[in-house]
């Protein structure tokens, strides 16, 4: 398991079924072998999505289409910021992406984006750590897009 997917046991990492982004960032800085536990791996939470928009197929379909383009653009913004070591660009992109993925039920993606955002706020940002988190974030957002698409597709079949 990669370091970016672990937390120290001593940190209050789970709050109401969610991973605390501050704990995730702190855990990445100070974790030791044998003193870790997995971060929440919930890629897609249908309940979070339904709390946001309900089960209206036309709204979900539109949101799915918007999500595909926006998540790709925002991941690109974070990548450009990381490549140029521009912490402010990383922070803004990660913050916006955090909101976008949270709106479609992406808990793991939200937590990783929050961790990158917080790391970018540091007086001396750790770009190596943020790059590691970015790799995980990219995979999580891709998995979220597939799960979200599958959910909307299945909902559409039920409505037909």
Is pTM, for the whole model, over 0.75?
no
pLDDT, tens digit only, all 160 positions of the chain? 333 333 332 223 333 333 334 334 444 444 333 333 334 456 788 888 888 888 888 999 999 999 999 999 999 999 999 999 999 999 999 999 999 999 999 999 999 999 999 999 999 999 999 999 999 999 999 999 999 999 999 888 876 6
Tell me which residue of 30, 17, 35 sits closest to 111, measured CA to CA.
Answer: 17
Q: Is 16 left (phi over 0), alpha (psi -120 to 50) or beta?
A: left
Tell me how far apart the alpha carbons of residues 115 and 121 are, in angstroms, rounded to a whole number: 10
Q: How many domains does the chain have?
A: 1
- The burial of 138, by beta-carbon neighbours within 10 Å (0-12 exposed, 13-18 middle, 19 or more buried), is given as middle
29 within a domain of the structure (yes/no): no
- Domain of 129 in residue numbering reads as 41-159
Other beta carbons within 10 Å of 28: 22
CATH number at residue 90: 1.20.120.160
Residue with tokens 């990445």: 28
Structural domain contains residue 115: yes
């Amino acid at each position: 398991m990669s370091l970016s997917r672990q937390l120290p046991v001593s940190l209050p990492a789970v709050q109401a079924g969610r991973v605390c982004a501050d704990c995730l960032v702190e855990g990445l800085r100070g974790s030791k072998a044998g003193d870790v536990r997995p971060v929440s791996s919930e890629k897609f939470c249908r309940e979070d999505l339904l709390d946001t928009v309900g089960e209206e197929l036309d709204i979900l379909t539109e949101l799915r289409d918007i999500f595909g383009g926006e998540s790709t653009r925002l991941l690109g913004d974070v990548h450009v910021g990381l490549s140029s070591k521009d912490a402010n660009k990383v922070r803004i992109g990660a913050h916006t992406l955090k909101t976008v993925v949270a709106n479609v039920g992406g808990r793991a993606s939200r937590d990783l984006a929050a961790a990158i955002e917080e790391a970018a706020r540091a007086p001396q940002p750790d770009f190596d750590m943020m790059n590691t988190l970015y790799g995980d974030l990219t995979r999580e957002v891709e998995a979220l897009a597939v799960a979200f698409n599958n959910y909307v597709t299945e909902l559409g079949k039920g409505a037909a």
